[in-house]
Amino acid sequence: MRTYDPAVRLLACEQCGAPLPEVRGADTLRCAFCNASHQLRMPEVVPSGEPVDPATRERNLLTQLDRQPSPSPIADLLDEGRLAPWREKEAVVAWTAIRKVLSEGHDDAEAKRFYTLTLALAEAAWGDLLKQRAWLESGYEVAQLPRHRTVFCARLARAAAEADEIDAAEAWLSRGDAETQDLEAFSAASVARALVARGQGRAEAQRDAIVEAGGRLLLQRDDLALGALLRADGQARAGDLEGAIATLDRAADRGGPGLRGELHRLCEAHPQLAAEAYRRFGERRGKAQHAITYNTVVLSFFTLMWGGGGVFAVTQFAAGEGAGWAVGAVLGLGACFFLASMLVRLWRTREGWRQPVWATVVEVTPSSRETEHRSMATLRVALQSGEGDPVLVRGRDDDGLSVGDPVLIFPSGQGLGGYVLLR
């Protein structure tokens, strides 16, 4: 069978959490692991909410973008935001217990814990498609809140689209709330809809699936990197390359360095996804970062020299020493000369900023905490073209780079050790 065929049921056991055998049209099923018997019911389509005009819905979604996320109800089971591998069995026990509670009646706190726990278990099953589907479909069957069920439908649709089962993805999407005004549900459905449109080769529909309002993408933080790339990819395929670059630029401004790292990893994993738009985006970001760094140094030096010279001159003049003016003038001229030389140097090396090179970190040597430059680290990166030996790059300890990380470096002849890192 196809992995995500919606006509075939694939659930997790209510007692032990193991995936149940695939079944088509049966009413009962027995778990092969714990022998528990299950009464199957066909999941219902999530009822859509009251229709609202697009402008009103966009306003409602925009108000949710800046809300601080509430603490995770399963924080005790997480490690750096993901389900800790050594707590997975404990998570399954908690999942089965909460499921029994919800079967007796709805409870808001337990429903939220069940929803979050199901998504965490599905994410932990990455690579085992049948197990992942079993968690998501069971969550869809048990959840009672439309927004929760819509997210489960969207996750199943996304997984189906990534497995090139486009018709199954459309079927799962149709089971969600098309009128949802919940940002998390809307965001998950938007990404799934864009993946479906891309699989069908409909660039405009792919672009429009990721909605932009007020200059911001209506996506929650976890979906922002992939959603921005999908919108940029749709724009580029529709012939709007500048619009695609602008989309990535706005998303990076919102998400910060962490999001740029996510964009990079996604582009490495899917090199055909908005490749040209991301290359141009990285090029401009690297140039801007480089220019800002050196202009800051230049202007700071100029300001200090001129200010220091001025203070010295005024002090000497007040003391009746006319030579203070001459000293101040010399210092000021020196600052001007330094500024001019740095600007000329930047101009001569401008071409280097336009040639970013993909590379992979092969070694990281953290700086000694006893040295003056304790914030600097030395990286060895190997160019992904395979040409030449690994090269040394000076970066910062807090960049968080580790062996195997992809990086974009700019051989500009300036910057940290001859390169500027974009992470």
Give tens-digit pLDDT for 176-203. Answer: 988 899 999 999 999 999 999 999 999 9
Rg, the chain, Cα only = 28
Structure token pair of residue 283: 């090029």
pLDDT, tens digit, for every residue of 235-270?
999 999 889 888 888 887 777 666 777 777 777 677
Instruction: Give the pLDDT of residue 290.
Output: 46
Integer CA distances (angstroms), 55 to 29, 49, 280, in order: 47, 16, 32
User: Domain 355-422 belongs to what topology?
Assistant: OB fold (Dihydrolipoamide Acetyltransferase, E2P) (2.40.50)
Instruction: Give the pLDDT of residue 286.
Output: 56
Residue 43 and residue 203 in contact, taking contact as beta carbons nearer than 8 Å: no
pLDDT band at 274 (very low <50, low <70, confident <90, very high): confident
Average pLDDT over residues 144-163: 93
Structure token pair of residue 159: 């997984």
Average pLDDT over residues 351-373: 60
Of 21, 56, 376, 58, nearest to 215 by C-alpha is 58
Helical segments of 275-322, H only: 275-318
Domain ranges of the chain: 54-278, 282-351, 355-422
Can you spell out the DSSP letters for 136-180?
Answer: HHHHHHH--SHHHHHHHHHHHHHHHHHTT-HHHHHHHHTTS-TT-
Q: How far apart are CA 133 and CA 152, in angstroms?
A: 10
Of 10, 24, 241, nearest to 139 by C-alpha is 10
User: Domain 54-278 belongs to what topology?
Assistant: 1.25.40
416 contacts: CB under 8 Å, gap ≥ 6: 376, 393, 394, 395
Phi, psi of 318 (to 5 degrees): -65, -30
Instruction: Give the pLDDT of residue 346.
Output: 57
Q: How far apart are CA 9 and CA 140, in angstroms?
A: 12
Interhelix angle 129-142/108-124, nearest 10 degrees? 170
pLDDT, tens digit, for every residue of 384-396?
556 666 667 666 6
Is pLDDT at 7 greater than 70 in this prediction?
yes
26-30, 49-53, 72-76: which range is least confident on average? 26-30
SS3 409: strand
pLDDT, tens digit, for every residue of 304-348?
666 666 666 666 656 656 565 566 666 666 666 766 666 666 555
Average pLDDT over residues 102-115: 89
Instruction: Give the pLDDT of residue 200.
Output: 94
Contacts 24+ apart (CB under 8 A), 236-244: 236/274, 236/276, 236/277, 237/203, 237/206, 238/203, 238/204, 238/207, 241/276, 241/277, 241/280, 244/274, 244/277
pLDDT band at 11 (very low <50, low <70, confident <90, very high): confident
Helical segments of 319-378, H only: 323-348
Which H or E element spans position 82?
A: strand 82-83
Q: Which residues face 393 on adjacent strands?
A: 379
Instruction: Give the pLDDT of residue 418.
Output: 43
Strand 406-410 to 28-30 pairing: unpaired
pLDDT, tens digit, for every residue of 197-219?
999 999 999 999 999 988 889 99
